[in-house]
Chains A and B, each alone.
Chain A
Amino acid sequence: MSGLERRYRRLLSWFPRDHRERHGEEMLVVLMSGAGERERPTARDFADLLWAAVRLHARRVVAADGGVDPRDVLAVVSLLGPLALVTGATTGLHEVAWWVRAGALTQMPWSTQFPDAPVWLLWGVVAVLVLWGSRRAAAVVAWVATAGFVLLAAFYPAQHWWLGVDAGWVLVGLLTAAALTWSPGPVRGRELVGGRAVVVLAVTVAVAVGLGVLGHRLLPAELLRVVVLVGGTLAACGSRSRVGRRSALVLLLPVVTAALGVAQWLVLGRIPVAAEVALFYGLPVVALLALGGLPRRIRRRPDQPVT
């Protein structure tokens, strides 16, 4: 290998991996063919390749290259979303655990301590229906559960901060119901991430709920819970694939909005309700659209499978 080729290879290493794998050797031939007797890339070559690498990376970040099909993202969400949503029951289950430890479960006032129980129970039913293969029934129950979020927000505004940090649950619920109704569905989702993903996410949810119940408001346990949720969801969806990473981002919206909530309190303090809605609903939706997690008019490469 000549010094010139080695230098060009080094410049090409800045390109996105998929582009390098597809075009790297071909680009090298073009560069070498146009190099003549030179021993080093010219400054214009350097600038051109650097600018091209930046543009290609930027296109991939926003999925403008069409390498991510939002329908596939929603298919994975339709498979794993219901299971991920069960994690939302953690706070209520902590209450239940407290009353169990007190030996007074039968006296627990469910309407004040765990009014959202029916909604999480419905998402558990949706998860079972999805695994059972009853997609249509799962979609119907998912819409009922999503409507439940709205009812809870209307009648129990103090139970959860539905317009604020808990907006992520509502968004994932809505997207999961929509995905079960209109996306290629859980069967396609299973083709993309495999059956193992369901097991990995189920274990993740179980551990996260366990940590939330046993370590409620203990900082180390809460932090570990976030690590488990992020790591487990990424592992389930597939952190090496772009569809997997975007699916994980959708499923982790409750973590995102919780983090936004912490940032809001630290930086802004109390803000008007309209600003809360814009921050906790608008911002995540805009981010998902920008990152190709939601449907929009972008073509998939005709000659490239989705990775």
Chain B
Amino acid sequence: MTDAALREPTFLILTALAARPQHGYGILLDVEEISGGRVKLRAGTLYTALDRMTADGWVRVDREQVVDGRLRRYYRLTDEGAARLEVEVRRMRAHTRAAERRLRLRPAGGTA
């Protein structure tokens, strides 16, 4: 498993699936909510990411439903995907702590 930083859409999609399985449109809405409205994924980006994450074993199809004659497919995070997200969260947390420590050391009033 690689520990290279995840791209933001990948991180947000994994986060959207962390608590429960979701269908494609649900993931798009959830990603927007998680990012505070800053990231608005589109269908092409979402399904390219799902294609890659499925190949990597991080995500898999949970179930399918037909609603109003239309297929709705739910995706869920695999254990491997959850572990990868956990690694990313730890990495981001370490960076955040380091940034906070450095900011506290910064002289008050501007440039040194």
Contacts and interface: CB of A to CB of B under 8 A. Distances in A.
B55 A299 contact: yes
* B: contact size bracket: 20 to 34
Interface stretch (A24-32, A170-178, A193-201, A255-263): A24-32
Contacts of A31: 43
A52 B48 contact: yes
Contact of B43 (A30, A56, A67, A302): A30
A59 B51 contact: yes
Contacts of B71: 25-26, 29
B25 interface: yes
* A: contact size bracket: 20 to 34
Contacts of B51: 19, 23, 56, 59, 65
B44 to A, nearest CB: 3
Contacts of B73: 23, 26
Contacts of B48: 52, 55-56
Interface of A: 19, 23, 25-31, 33-34, 44-45, 48-53, 55-56, 59, 64-67, 298-304
Interface of B: 23-25, 28, 42-48, 50-52, 54-57, 60-61, 70-73, 78
B55 A52 contact: no
Q: Which of B43, B57, B61, B73 has the most CB of A within 10 A?
A: B43
A52 B45 contact: yes
A58 to B, nearest CB: 10
